[in-house]
């Protein structure tokens, strides 16, 4: 599993739910709240005021002419015109039980299962996927969770005709689960796959 370490700057929003305080990144006026993946050649991204983060891969911003697909509700399929399809749904929830430095014990989380089918006629590089979630009526960014939960990145080159699966987790207080949007920025070719709807409580 490729693990990401968030490097945050700019303003923060503190969300209080069930006596758990969770720091969530929001943008400054100049959109300078930045984060970068841990490890060599990991993508970097800037949290925007709305929508998916702006992602850079190998130091370059994504082109404006990426392959587009319509947003869909959770559990439905995002279908790109080149044959790539993506499905995602919330499949688990719980609270963090681990303790230690950097761990928010008791934080409530939701786990998403993701499946990508490569229906194109070429390999698709999914080694730099950036998942992000906004939750609540004010669409606050949710913190990703990699400790104390069963998760696995989309982290492979997928051959034509093959499927690949992953699990991503985010800290989401129960009072923010009526409305959520999951963005999966897969690569520099496809615009983010977008899923919307409510989450289990």
pLDDT band at 18 (very low <50, low <70, confident <90, very high): very low
**Does residue 148 surpass a pLDDT of 90?**
no
pLDDT band at 99 (very low <50, low <70, confident <90, very high): confident
- How far apart, in whole angstroms, are the C-alpha atoms of residue 146 and residue 31? 25
**Does residue 168 surpass a pLDDT of 50?**
yes
- How far apart, in whole angstroms, are the C-alpha atoms of residue 148 and residue 163? 26
The pTM of this model reads 0.81
**Does residue 29 surpass a pLDDT of 60?**
no
pLDDT of residue 187: 95
**Does residue 57 surpass a pLDDT of 90?**
yes
Say if residues 139 and 176 touch (Cβ distance below 8 Å): no
Q: In this predicted model, what pLDDT tens digit does every residue of 67-88 receive, in sequence order? A: 999 999 999 999 999 999 999 9
Over residues 35-63, the mean pLDDT reads 79
Alpha-carbon distance values, 25 to 48, 90, 140 (Å): 10, 22, 8
Over residues 179-199, the mean pLDDT reads 97
**Backbone φ and ψ of 83, nearest 5°:** 110, -10
Over residues 81-110, the mean pLDDT reads 93
Over residues 164-181, the mean pLDDT reads 97
């Amino acid at each position: 599993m490729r693990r990401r370490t968030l490097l945050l700057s700019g303003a923060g929003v503190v969300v209080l739910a069930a006596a758990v305080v969770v720091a969530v990144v929001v943008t400054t006026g100049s959109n300078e709240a930045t984060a970068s993946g841990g490890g060599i050649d990991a993508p970097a991204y800037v949290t925007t005021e709305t929508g998916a983060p702006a992602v850079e891969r190998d130091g370059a911003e994504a082109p404006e002419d990426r392959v587009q697909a319509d947003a869909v509700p959770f559990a439905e399929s995002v279908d790109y015109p080149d044959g790539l399809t993506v499905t995602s749904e919330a499949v688990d929830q719980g609270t963090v039980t681990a303790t230690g430095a950097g761990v928010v014990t008791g934080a409530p989380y939701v786990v998403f299962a993701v499946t990508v089918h490569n229906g194109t006629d070429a390999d698709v590089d999914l080694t730099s996927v950036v998942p992000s979630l906004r939750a609540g009526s004010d669409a606050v960014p949710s913190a990703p969770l990699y400790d104390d939960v069963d998760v696995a990145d989309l982290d492979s080159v997928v051959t034509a005709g093959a499927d690949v699966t992953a699990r991503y987790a985010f800290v989401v207080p129960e009072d923010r689960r009526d409305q959520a949007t999951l963005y999966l920025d897969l690569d520099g070719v496809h615009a983010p796959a977008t899923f919307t709807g409510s989450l289990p409580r």
